[in-house]
Structure 1
């Protein structure tokens, strides 16, 4: 992962002109805390890479390794991105965490979204290179929108003087807000499932299938949110890269929101487990009722079987061979069966 540099580590003009990338790029340039340009050509960004007063944000949509290698010297200046960091950012299979290197850091995260119509949770892999004067965001797809981030930067221009910490905070805050949106939607679906369970609407196995589907979505959400608490803690730790003291309260606020999201996820998980346990208990009770009814009817049917078996004996008995014997056995069947039915009915077995 090398690029052509002149002796001394700087990149010559011919290298800048030869940079070609295949991914979609969005960028911003701040100078002295003031927005100086938006979506500039890569070559123009390269002119500011060594400017101590410049702050660069670059967003790459599903880039290749060659794209990152080509762009990193332009916006990173003398910083060379670690090969393991580049490999991890491209793979998209990293768990959310913060990885520190000598002169830069790499944050892996997942932005989530929930589709109430299909009850499926989807995630967008997000890798962020944190440099002293640049922030490189790599998105796996465009389902994680940039518009709220850009709008927040425009609404808070006074924070731009705090450098990369300002840019990173908005990205993380928007991502955590997405966690709460997904949690609220999941909560609505779980509450609707709970109502269906109590009123007995729909097929009985539908409740169990939806419970498993929602539990899977909650588990996926937990795998995206829970590790972020450790990443936020690492960002707030002493010695973190590019985190100004003035930005610490903002990061603590996002950290608190992430902790609250974790607590709500635990609550959703407990609710789903409670729904499953209640559903199984209700199925058990229903099975008991069915068994009671089957037992009662089996006892009732056993009466005519017993009576007819008695009168079918090949020995003399009262009414044997006479018409009165038939009516006597029939009356006995009706009376005994009716009495047993009434007794079961009184006990709510039937």
Structure 2
């Protein structure tokens, strides 16, 4: 079932008479700004709207497709873009290996006097976009400011997601060098963080091209200088998120490789200690085995023979233990 929410501004002032059937009239009226948000659209409704206001048919198909990459495509009468909003959710306390990210797609059609957003997921806070737009007084700057408010909220979500993954990697580093690290859980968390980072990287890195295309292809020319400044700031935030994501990729790879190196080092230490103790145990085994021969030898069946063999065992074991300990073999 298609859900539609819309807002209208006339001469910079909010109007309350939005009607979905009158979208083409709003877009044709001078001094009017339209924002129409369509959630869970059926193909027939969106296709009818596209024919009414002249949207590209391939862009319409991309807006409701199951999977699309982050992108912006410029057409003659409008610009189509697809971005992803990222939410950070709290992991279950008993399972730290669960993903902490939720990724939701938002598609948009930017027209000279309006923005039409299409989304499949209900878990996108479009009211936050509306509040951000109102707080900035965006009615004075046209549709370019409305698009900026949407992208600004999306990029803020990217920053929150990158910060969450950064905290997760720092937690991994603490567990990695713990006295008794839980190897199984550590490996599961590392693998999940790598998966989340790959998914986040796919939606963050292409945002640079999206912001550039929307900034340079604004169909409204009002307050161009002010919008250039805010878009430049937005582009800087996108670059920072992209660079941060790339650095986390190196960090999680380092954690993974360090974990393998520590496991090899601990295995070598264990083998070294086992070998040292085996050498120490071999001494009394050899002595008792020698005196266990079925031949007569000095001290057989005497207390002196028992004391002598026992003393030899104790002295040699102490010497070997001290030698191995001094060389850090135990």
What is residue 105 of structure 2 aligned with on the other side?
125
Partner deviation per Cα, 1:25-47 (whole Å, 9 max, x = no partner): 11111222322236x23234454
1:49-100 deviation per Cα after TM superposition (whole angstroms, max 9, x unaligned): 42133221100112121121233355x3xxx222211111100411101112
CA-CA distance at 1:208 after TM superposition = 2.2
CA offsets per residue over residues 92-141 of structure 1, 9 Å max, x none? Answer: 41110111222222101111112241433221011111122221101121
TM-score (norm 1): 0.84
Relative distance call for 1:201 and 1:109 in structure 2 (3 A) is farther
Aligned position for 2:41: 63
Displacement after TM superposition at 1:262 (Å): 0.7
Q: Which moved more, 1:205-214 or 1:338-347?
A: 338-347
Larger CA deviation: 324-333 vs 54-63:
324-333
1:29–1:45 CA contact under 8 A, matched in 2: no
Structure 2 counterpart of 1:115:
89
* Mapped contact 1:27–1:56 kept (Cα < 8 A): yes
Q: What is the root-mean-square deviation of aligned Cα atoms in Å?
A: 2.2
Distance 1:155 1:322, change over 3 A: closer
Whether contact under 8 Å (2:47, 2:57) holds in the other structure is no
TM-score with structure 2 length normalisation? 0.89
Structure 1, gaps ≥5 residues long: 1-21
- The equivalent residue for 1:255 is 235
Cα separation, 1, equivalents of 2:90 and 2:244? 18
From 30, 41, 57, give the equivalent of 1:83: 57
Within 5 Å, which residues of 2 pair with 1:1-350? 22-37=1-16, 40-73=18-51, 76=53, 80-117=54-91, 118-157=98-137, 159-200=138-179, 202-237=181-216, 240-242=217-219, 244=221, 245-246=224-225, 247-320=227-300, 324-350=304-330
How far the C-alpha of 1:173 sits from its partner, in A, is 0.7
Offset at 1:178?
A: 0.8
Displacement of 1:155 after TM fit?
Answer: 1.8
Query: Residue in 2 aligned with 1:8?
Result: none
- Cα 1:328–1:283, aligned 2, differ >3 Å: closer, same or farther? same
Query: Unpaired runs of 5+ in structure 2?
Result: 92-97
Preserved CA contact (<8 Å) 1:121 1:220 = no
Cα distance in 2 for partners of 1:97, 1:345 equals: 63
Shift of residue 342 of structure 1?
2.7
> Could you tell me how far apart the structure 2 residues matched to 1:156 and 1:235 are?
19
Q: 1:114 to 1:61 in 2, by over 3 A?
A: same
Pairs aligned (count): 321
Q: Supply the distance in 2 between the matched residues of 1:116 and 1:287 (Cα, whole angstroms).
A: 36
